[in-house]
Amino acid sequence: MEKKGLVQEFKAFISRGNVVDMAVGVIIGSAFTKIVNSLVNDVFMPVLGVITGGVNFAELKYVITPATEEVAEVAIKYGSFIQNIVDFLLIAAVVFAMVKMINKMRAPKEEPKKEEPTAPPPTPEEILLLREIRDSLKD
């Protein structure tokens, strides 16, 4: 009996809209990550490599202890850190541009508002008085 209640609860949990939306978001997010990483690594990084003269940041390091036959090299790999910062900035810029483009496509296009004719403002009291005087002088 308790098992059946647990199954029913799980069914209710899984069939809620927000769980399904979250699952779709995770799947789309992972596919989007591949696109962004490819754009950064296959398009932008080669251009950046040409601009920087072919310097590969990932290979820059400060060797503390050189490698020997028995001991592996001990080094501070600051170039890898720089590379990760560059990757982050490029990915953030690409995501920003894509989100901006998507938001622009989603935004409803506003039609230019036609100005409706407005009623003229009420005639000032002095003008009305002058008109009465004019009309009385005509008679």
Residue 2's pLDDT band (boundaries 50, 70, 90)? Answer: low
Q: Is there a contact between 24 and 44 (Cβ–Cβ < 8 Å)? A: no
Q: Supply the pLDDT for residue 93.
A: 86
Query: pTM for the complete prediction?
Result: 0.49
> What is the Cα–Cα distance from 59 to 23, expressed in whole angstroms?
38
Strands 74-76 and 62-65, bridge-based pairing:
antiparallel
- As given in the structure block, the two tokens for residue 68 are 């020997």
- Which CATH number is 2-109's, of 1.10.1200.120, 1.20.1250.20, 3.40.50.920, 3.40.1030.10? 1.10.1200.120
Position with higher pLDDT, 8 vs 115: 8
For residues 3-16, average pLDDT: 78
Distances (CA, A) of 72 to 64, 66, 68, 103: 11, 7, 6, 51
pLDDT tier, 76 (very low <50, low <70, confident <90, very high otherwise): very high
Give the pLDDT confidence of 83-124 residue by residue, as tens digits.
Answer: 888 888 888 888 888 888 888 888 777 666 777 778 888 888
Comparison of pLDDT for 44 and 139, the residue scoring more? 44
Q: Where are the domains of the chain?
A: 2-109
Q: Pick the residue with more confidence: 128 or 55? A: 128
What is the rounded distance in angstroms from the CA atom of residue 89 to the CA atom of residue 79? Answer: 15
Q: What is the pLDDT of residue 139?
A: 65
The torsion region of residue 119 among left (phi > 0), alpha (psi -120 to 50) and beta comes to beta
Return the percentage of the chain with pLDDT > 70, whole number. 94
- pLDDT tops 70 at residue 3: no
Task: Please determine, for residue 1, whether its predicted confidence score (pLDDT) is greater than 80.
Answer: no
Looking at every residue in the chain, the average pLDDT score rounds to 82
Alpha helices in the chain, H assignment, sequence order: 2-15, 17-38, 45-51, 78-106, 125-138
The dihedral over CA atoms of 128, 129, 130, 133, expressed in degrees to the nearest 10, equals 120
